């Protein structure tokens, strides 16, 4: 019988110090009642974490499908430590929501991997308006993830 060794793995606390970070936000205007509220919450959390308001640049696109395209353009035109893509895709009568949400996720992930810049997927994929409204606060978690990932990658680069 094999026994599992008692490993005491210490994971460092996430670095959520947003000072001197430059964060870009791309927000979809489609379902603006949801995405606008998410934009407000994400921005407030970034500022609370120490990101200077002048270091937060927000841009909008028509819908979630276009998030990766503008994120790509933002990365090509300026320096960002992380980007946050905000959108809301709700289930409809057809499978359009599946196509849009899958394309948004794949485009954002591909861009993050190709650029080496953290791009946080803040797209809500909801079954209903109520379900989307219940998830608006996820924007705060996404803002925290942007800061944490920016700091994590900076630490990797300074230790290598």
10 is catalytic: no
Longest dimension (CA), the chain: 60
The answer to whether 147 is annotated as binding is no
Is 85 annotated as ligand-binding? no
Q: Is 88 assigned a ligand-binding role in the annotation?
A: yes
Three-class DSSP category at 20 = coil
42 is an annotated ligand-binding site residue:
no
Q: Are 42 and 140 in contact (CB under 8 A)?
A: yes
Q: Does the annotation place 121 within a ligand binding site?
A: yes
10, 55, 72, 96: the active-site residue: 96
Is 94 among the annotated ligand-binding positions?
yes
- Do the beta carbons of residue 23 and residue 85 sit within 8 Å? no
The first and second tokens of residue 7, run together, are 């490993």
Please report where in the chains the tokens 């270091």 appear, as a residue.
55
Residue list, annotated binding site: 30, 64-66, 88-90, 93-94, 121, 135
Residue list, annotated binding site for 5-amino-6-(D-ribitylamino)uracil: 30, 64-66, 88-90, 121
Q: List, by residue number, the catalytic residues.
A: 96
């Amino acid at each position: 019988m094999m026994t599992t060794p008692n490993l005491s793995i210490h994971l460092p606390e996430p670095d959520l110090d947003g000072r001197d970070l430059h964060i870009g936000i791309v927000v979809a205007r489609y379902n603006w009642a949801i995405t606008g509220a998410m934009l407000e919450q994400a921005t407030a959390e970034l500022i609370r974490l120490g990101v200077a308001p002048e270091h937060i640049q927000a841009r909008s696109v028509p819908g979630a499908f276009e998030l990766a395209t503008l994120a790509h353009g933002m990365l090509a035109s300026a320096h960002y430590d992380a980007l946050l893509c905000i959108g809301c895709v709700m289930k409809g009568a057809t499978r359009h929501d599946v196509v849009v949400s899958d394309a948004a996720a794949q485009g954002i992930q591909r861009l993050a991997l190709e650029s080496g810049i953290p791009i946080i997927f803040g797209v809500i994929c909801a079954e209903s308006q109520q379900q989307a409204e219940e998830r608006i606060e996820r924007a705060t978690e996404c803002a925290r993830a942007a800061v944490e990932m920016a700091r994590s990658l900076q630490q990797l680069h300074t230790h290598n």
